[in-house]
Structure 1
Amino acid sequence: MSNVLFESVLPPAQLQKAVADWLLEDTPSFDVGGFVVGTDDQVAILFCKAKGVLAGVPFFDEVFRQVTGCRVEWHFKEGVDLDPSTTKNGKLEVARVYGPARNLLLGERPALNMLARASGIATRCRKLRAMKEKAGWHGVIAGTRKTTPGFRLVEKYAMLVGGVDTHRMDLSSMVMLKDNHIWATGSISGAVAKARSVAGFSVKIEVECCSEAEADEAITAGADIVMLDNFDGPGIRVAAKSLKERWSGKAKFLVEGSGGLTEDNVASYFCPDVDVLSFGSVTQSVPHIDFSLKVQPASKAK
């Protein structure tokens, strides 16, 4: 996946708005620090100080485009594995940013915060994908909608760079009927019928199920995907196999496993009858990758 460039998947208006919001949040009024350093042209080096997958390049570039007068020169392509341990000082030069001193510092923190988180997510996703491939499992590893408010575009993008599926982007992308939907409606069958009446033929409907009986009801009602929620590895193997055998030749559907999945237990979920495994953990409690941006003294800038 490191040879695939995903930048063109980002809507320009969304990319620009996200970055503009970050910059406005970080400098809502006077920039006294910028006044101190002035507008002389400088060069800043982006260092990576921890091993991980580089992700978030288009957002980083957009930050320094919007602060004006800056340009970024990358030494690595997005999606590559960075390893600072290969250097003498434990810091790997990833890029150089050129521009007026005050503008470099205006973009520094928003750009680094984004890059650290995006790269952390991509790193975890890359590891899960590698585990899937090593096990020979042909299903889909996916993220979830458990993203940071206002930061979903970055986090979903990082999933792509890391090599996993983004799952649904938002409430409008796919219908997922969870326990609260079922309880508020009264039944799985009623909830699916009501959803289908407005979703139309082009939108998939997924139903969260806590038992085979609930999954059977969802399939009977016409669900496209049944999510076996909070099953352990052995339990999901039995349930998924039973469902596929019972409905063979009668209905087409996907089986998704979700709830409590981690790097430590995912191997027990890999089986031919499970089509999708979705992880909230690819965005929650993800270690960030450590980056820094250092303006160089004039004597060292060349």
Structure 2
Amino acid sequence: MKNFNNIYNFDNLKENFFFNSELELRTILSNFLNEDIGTGDITSNLLIPKEKTSSGTIVCKHEDIDRTIIASGLAEAKMIFEICGCKATQMVEDGSVVSKGTEVMSVSGSARSILKAERTALNIVMRMSGISTKTRQFVEKLGDLSQVVRIASTRKTAPGLRYFDKKAVVLGGGISHRKRMDQLILIKDNHIAIVGSVKKAIELAKSVYGEKRKIECEVVNLDGIVEAISSGADIVMLDNFTSDMVRYSLEKIREYGLREKAVIEISGGVNYDNIYDYASSRPDVISIGSLTHSVKSIDYSLEILN
């Protein structure tokens, strides 16, 4: 398998997903809490004595015999409870396989505080687990081809949630692709329409950045692939190709001796039903927007024990 750290350099969790500091992440999560809490939880404050302590567990409630369920977002949920003054302990690691009834976290502390953190923590876990689970579903569909073809996310994420969405993809077995627009030069159809040609756009990018930035170029036909590789693109994105077009194009660039000169990415029109047809041509990456823009959450609940 090609070393995608050298091309994308975005699938290292420690270096590329964590914020510049834990404080920065805590600030983001605190803002999520503030959005939910407002001036205070008037229901809990009314019904529960201030001195009351409780404990509970977060349990997977999702029953899905057709998919491997991946727990994700637990580190963030733990931090949310801790921000509220509770003690939280992960019972499984992020990225672990779970099933209905699996206890993933225990919490204890002020009853009011536990309930204050509950919804925000669960929302994070449910969404991130949904993304990780869907990613794993695509990876498993590829079988042995998953050792050759990588599944990637896109920037089609919910505003404000990109860190969480993309981290969840990686925990599910995918790669992040670029997290921000400043990490990779990605020349798309509208850039080409304005500049004039694939060759001209790539040459302009290289004249400014040289080898300091990787260049990806979106193309719509075989001629575009050849032009992009010949002009020095590091990654060529085959946009909205059919699986037959992908197969034909990759066969031709192998004949031309160009296949190993660039990473080939497939994007657009790929879904769970047809992904194996695309992957069987052995591109390097298949990027799928639905991993993050069409999330089906995994059901979890907080069960108070006392």
Aligned counterpart for 1:46 among listed residues 47, 53, 58 = 58
How do residues 107-146 of structure 1 correspond to structure 2 at under 5 angstroms? 107-135=117-145, 138-146=148-156
Letter in 1 for 2:271: T
Corresponding residue of 1:88: none
Distance in 2 of aligned mates of 1:28 and 1:7: 33
**What does residue range 113-262 of structure 1 map to in structure 2 within 5 Å?**
113-135=123-145, 138-248=148-258, 252-262=261-271
CA distance in 2, matches of 1:174, 1:133: 29
TM-score normalised by the chain length of structure 1: 0.87
Post-superposition CA distance 1:230-273 (Å, at most 9, x none): 11112101112212321449x71111111011111101012355
- What one-letter code is carried by the residue in structure 2 that aligns with 1:293? L
Give the alignment's TM-score, normalised by structure 2: 0.86
Which residue in 2 is equivalent to 1:67? 84
Deviation at 1:219, TM superposition (A): 1.8
- Look up the SS of the partner of 1:283 in the other structure: helix
- Determine the structure 2 residue equivalent to 1:95: 105
Letter in 1 for 2:79: E
Per-residue Cα deviation, 1:163-182 (whole angstroms, up to 9, x for no partner): 11111111011111111111
Contact preservation (8 Å) 1:137, 1:272: no
Deviation string 1:204-226 (CA, Å, 9 cap, x unpaired) is 11111001111222222211111
5+ residue gaps, structure 1: 85-90
- Spell out, residue by residue over 1:8-46, the C-alpha distance to the aligned partner (whole angstroms, 9 max, x if none): 852324422221220121123233124222432111221
- Partner residue of 1:87? none
Aligned equivalent of 1:281: 290
Aligned counterparts of 2:146 and 2:74: Cα–Cα separation in 1: 31
Match of residue 265 from structure 1: 274
Distance change >3 Å, CA 143–CA 27, structure 1 → 2: same
Q: Which residue number in structure 2 is paired with residue 56 of structure 1?
A: 73
Of 145-154 and 26-35, more deviation after overlay is shown by 26-35
Q: Once superposed, which parts of structure 1, at least 4 consecutive aligned residues long, lie more than 6 Å away?
A: none
Gaps of 5+ in 2: 1-11, 64-68
Kept after mapping to 1: 8 A contact 2:72/2:132: yes
Q: 1:27 to 1:199 in 2, by over 3 A?
A: farther
Deviations 1:128-159 (A, max 9, x none): 22222344651221111111110011111111
Distance in 2 between residues matched to 1:21 and 1:197, nearest whole Å: 42
CA RMSD of aligned residues (A): 2.1
Distance in 1 of aligned mates of 2:153 and 2:139: 12
Distance 2:146 2:214 in 1: 27
